[in-house]
Amino acid sequence: MPVRRVGAWKDRARRAVDAVVALSMPNGRSVAAPLLLVDGYLYPHEAVFLYWVARSAPVDGVVVEVGSMRGRSTLCLAAGTRDGGRERVYAVDPHRYGTSDELCENLAHFGLTGHVEVVVDESITIALRWHNPVRAVFVDGDHSFEAAYADVILWSQHLAPGGFLLLHDSTELNGFNGPRQVASVFCHVGVLFDKIGTIGSITWARRKGGADWSPPEHGKWVVDGIMSSLKWLRRPTTGLYT
């Protein structure tokens, strides 16, 4: 089954660059093909980061993804669970834009259907009736403050000791106001979390307890540095010399 592709030549070029960059990182080959063929907003070092969390986080439980769209991040998480022989990924998304068929086709194309449970529903609805331990939750759904805050609050309650909250689009590199505000309010070392960090546009936090393990941040300094420089060069210049 062919993977669905969208976008103009610029999108294809960006995907090719993402795949090449991922190949330069440890086990990046496991996510390079999805990055090459599936559109979505996920930097290559973020893709490798998600892979390693899903593969190696020393916690019992499943991986939950809030917001899947066509499955770019879903495929990276699923590749990690497959390679690590871990529990499956639960991909939760109401698919308001009609992307559920594309997600399922992309999972089938890469042979990862058996590693993902596609849940077509609202994140909050599923979280309120959830009862199983979660070792990592990747929050990338509705980017309003209210929705992102609700997702983080509800799903963090299900994190097993040592489990990871991963909040996408929440840093200064490529953040949105809603997730960024949620990260500033919620992601701190304290009562709930004992480690925090960022990579790309992801803020991560580790729930207290469990084995003392931090996810590898391959490519962080190089890719983040390049992206930050490009962002600085694209900044508005009006009025700087007046």
Domains in the chain: ranges and CATH = 9-233 (3.40.50.150)
Report phi then psi at 12, rounded to 5: -65, -40
Which residues of the chain, if any, have pLDDT below 50? Answer: 238-242
Contact 61, 132 (CB under 8 A): yes
Sequence-distant contacts of 141-145: CB under 8 A, at least 24 apart = 141/66, 141/67, 141/92, 141/93, 142/67, 142/178, 143/169, 143/176, 143/178, 143/179, 144/178, 145/177, 145/178, 145/181, 145/182
Q: Which residues pair with 199 in a beta bridge?
A: 202
For 238, half-sphere exposure in the C-beta direction (CA atoms, 13 angstrom radius) is 1
pLDDT at 136: 98
For 98, half-sphere exposure in the C-beta direction (CA atoms, 13 angstrom radius) is 0
**Does this model's pTM top 0.85?**
yes
pLDDT at 145: 97
- Residue type for position 45: H
pLDDT at 241: 37
Q: What is the pLDDT of residues 37-55, one digit of tens each?
A: 999 999 999 999 999 999 9
- Residue type for position 213: W
